């Protein structure tokens, strides 16, 4: 009896091999097409504060969906470091977003670009800023890590500073030289003394809270148990919090919400969220000496309410595209709000006559510009 071998049995190896070759060929072709399309796209470079990473990514996703010929390339830094990418490292971007609008004035509008074509004009790095969003400082923690003394903080038996100054508690802060959240953390410490011992008890000479924070800090040379952990920007500390390397973290509420963290709210006298308290905030001025970069320091900062700024550098490679992306952002304040960070609508312009004309309908003149 003869057995007839089926067509599939006879040729299955060749058929499968052929199909694999076809699939691989198609994949390679599509990859090449995708790469060609990517190379043909115009890239809009954005440098921005670390706390803007999630919002900018959301704006990027929607913008690229509407305008497939453009590609957003966004990089997060501490705000001061983002500016230094331009003014010191010679890098270029078409949009710059900072967690403190005043840095745009002091580091860009008040500084000349030595590389401008006509140095005699004293052309600055930027000519304007727009204040587009607010935030507040809080003390974040990860509930699943069961940080020490959390129950005492929740029931009000202990105040936050009475817990943080213990050597069996580790908290994190960012570098005040590189990051506004870093110097705002120091402002919270100083304002806490003014609030708890000044406003509540009338003793305005106390420095107890501020000093207790510094006692555990590497800037003071402390390396013992519970030493404070410092990173370049506040979002760099999120992995430390998740890993349980730190128990608590000074950070913006928007970042805490975006990453599903719990947080302890500060009184308005401390959280830098209430513009009506700017006179009170201004009683505190902090030094910006870096615990991370030996010898690095910047001019002291006086406390004021948190307001985010955005601009287009004068050496931007695609200024018109930068304008369009900023307009896209200003038109959609709901995106910021949905991510835990209220946006101004309309936004505030440093000088309404100097900002690009297409942005003016989304702004009003800032009644208290710093220029």
What is residue 262's predicted lDDT score, i.e. its pLDDT?
96
Where residue 177 falls among pLDDT bands split at 50, 70, 90?
Answer: very high
Where residue 11 falls among pLDDT bands split at 50, 70, 90?
Answer: low
State whether 226 and 245 are in the same domain: yes
Question: pLDDT tens digits, residue range 197-231?
Answer: 999 999 999 999 999 999 999 999 999 999 999 99
Would the pLDDT of 366 be above 80? yes
Residue among 286, 291, 260, 290 at smallest CA distance from 272: 286
Better-scored residue on pLDDT, 10 or 348: 348
State whether 110 and 90 are in the same domain: yes
Q: Let me know if residue 321 belongs to a domain.
A: yes
CA 95 – CA 46 distance, rounded (Å): 5
Check which CATH number belongs to the domain holding 102 and give it. Answer: 3.40.190.10
Q: Let me know if residue 164 belongs to a domain.
A: yes
State whether 147 and 290 are in the same domain: yes
Which residues, other chains included, contact 120 with Cβ-Cβ below 8 Å and sequence gap of 6+? none
State whether 297 and 276 are in the same domain: yes
What is residue 127's predicted lDDT score, i.e. its pLDDT?
95
What is residue 35's predicted lDDT score, i.e. its pLDDT?
57
Q: Let me know if residue 28 belongs to a domain.
A: no
Q: Let me know if residue 176 belongs to a domain.
A: yes
Question: pLDDT tens digits, residue range 273-330?
Answer: 999 999 999 999 999 999 999 999 999 999 999 999 999 999 999 999 999 999 999 9
Question: pLDDT tens digits, residue range 16-52?
Answer: 777 777 787 777 766 655 555 556 799 999 999 999 9
What is residue 50's predicted lDDT score, i.e. its pLDDT?
96
Q: Let me know if residue 157 belongs to a domain.
A: yes
Residue among 97, 74, 77 at smallest CA distance from 85: 77
Residue 92: give the domain boundaries. Answer: 41-134+308-365
What is residue 115's predicted lDDT score, i.e. its pLDDT?
75
Structural domain ending residue among the three candidates 302, 337, 352: 302
Structural domain ending residue among the three candidates 302, 335, 357: 302
State whether 176 and 324 are in the same domain: no
Q: Let me know if residue 213 belongs to a domain.
A: yes
Would the pLDDT of 10 be above 80? no
Reading the block at residue 307, the tokens are: 């307001």
Q: Let me know if residue 17 belongs to a domain.
A: no
Q: Let me know if residue 357 belongs to a domain.
A: yes
CA 199 – CA 131 distance, rounded (Å): 30
Buried b (16+ CB within 10 A) or exposed e, 127-165: bbbbbbbbbbbbbbbbeeeebbbbeebeeeebebbebbb
The whole-number average pLDDT for the span 331-338 is 97
State whether 252 and 291 are in the same domain: yes
What is residue 215's predicted lDDT score, i.e. its pLDDT?
96
State whether 268 and 360 are in the same domain: no
Residue among 315, 252, 348, 230 at smallest CA distance from 55: 252
What is residue 20's predicted lDDT score, i.e. its pLDDT?
79
Look at the chain and report how many structural domains it folds into: 2
Neighbouring C-beta atoms of residue 52, cutoff 10 Å: 29
Question: pLDDT tens digits, residue range 103-141?
Answer: 999 999 998 888 765 555 568 999 999 999 999 999 999
State whether 99 and 74 are in the same domain: yes
State whether 286 and 315 are in the same domain: no
State whether 115 and 150 are in the same domain: no
The answer to whether residues 153 and 160 touch, using CB atoms and an 8 Å cutoff, is yes
What is residue 32's predicted lDDT score, i.e. its pLDDT?
59
SS3 107: helix
CA angle, 219 as apex, 214 and 220 as ends, to 5°?
60
State whether 144 and 291 are in the same domain: yes
Would the pLDDT of 1 be above 50? no
Structural domain ending residue among the three candidates 283, 302, 321: 302
What is residue 114's predicted lDDT score, i.e. its pLDDT?
80
Residue among 38, 58, 42, 50 at smallest CA distance from 334: 58
State whether 181 and 200 are in the same domain: yes
What is residue 347's predicted lDDT score, i.e. its pLDDT?
98
The whole-number average pLDDT for the span 6-21 is 71
Neighbouring C-beta atoms of residue 172, cutoff 10 Å: 23
CA 311 – CA 106 distance, rounded (Å): 13
**Percent of the chain, pLDDT > 90?**
84
Question: pLDDT tens digits, residue range 235-258?
Answer: 999 999 999 999 999 999 999 999
What is residue 122's predicted lDDT score, i.e. its pLDDT?
63
């Amino acid at each position: 009896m003869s057995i007839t071998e089926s067509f599939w049995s006879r040729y299955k190896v060749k058929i499968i091999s052929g199909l694999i070759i076809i699939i691989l060929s198609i994949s390679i072709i599509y990859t090449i097409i995708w790469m060609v399309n990517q190379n043909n796209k115009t890239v809009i470079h954005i440098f921005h504060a670390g706390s803007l990473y999630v919002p900018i990514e959301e704006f990027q996703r929607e913008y690229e969906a509407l305008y497939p010929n453009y590609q957003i390339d966004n990089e997060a830094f501490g705000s001061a470091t983002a500016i230094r990418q331009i003014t010191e490292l010679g890098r270029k971007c078409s949009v710059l977003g900072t967690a403190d609008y005043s840095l745009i004035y002091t580091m860009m509008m008040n500084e000349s670009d030595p590389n401008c074509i006509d140095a005699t004009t004293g052309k600055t790095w930027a000519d304007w800023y727009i204040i587009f969003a607010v935030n507040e400082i809080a003390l974040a923690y990860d509930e699943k890590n069961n940080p020490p003394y959390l129950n005492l903080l929740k029931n009000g038996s202990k105040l936050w500073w009475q817990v943080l100054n213990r050597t069996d508690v580790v908290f994190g802060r960012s570098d005040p030289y590189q990051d506004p959240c870093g110097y705002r953390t120091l402002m919270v410490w100083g304002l806490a003394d003014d609030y708890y011992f000044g406003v509540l008890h009338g003793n305005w000479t106390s420095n107890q809270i501020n000093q207790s924070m510094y006692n555990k800090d590497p800037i003071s040379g402390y390396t013992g148990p519970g030493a404070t952990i410092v990173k370049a920007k506040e979002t760099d500390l999120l992995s430390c919090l998740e890993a349980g390397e730190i128990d608590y973290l000074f950070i913006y509420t928007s970042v805490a919400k975006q990453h599903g963290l719990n947080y302890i709210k500060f009184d308005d006298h401390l959280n830098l969220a209430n513009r009506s308290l700017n006179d009170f905030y201004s009683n505190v001025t902090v030094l910006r000496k870096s615990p991370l970069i030996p010898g690095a320091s910047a001019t002291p900062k006086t406390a004021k309410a948190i307001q985010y700024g955005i601009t287009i550098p004068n050496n931007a490679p695609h200024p018109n595209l930068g304008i369009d992306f900023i307009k896209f952002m200003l038109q959609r304040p709901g995106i910021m709000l949905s991510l835990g960070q209220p946006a101004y609508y309309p936004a505030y312009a440093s000088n309404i006559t100097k900002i690009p004309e297409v942005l003016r309908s989304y702004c009003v003149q800032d009644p208290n510009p710093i220029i």
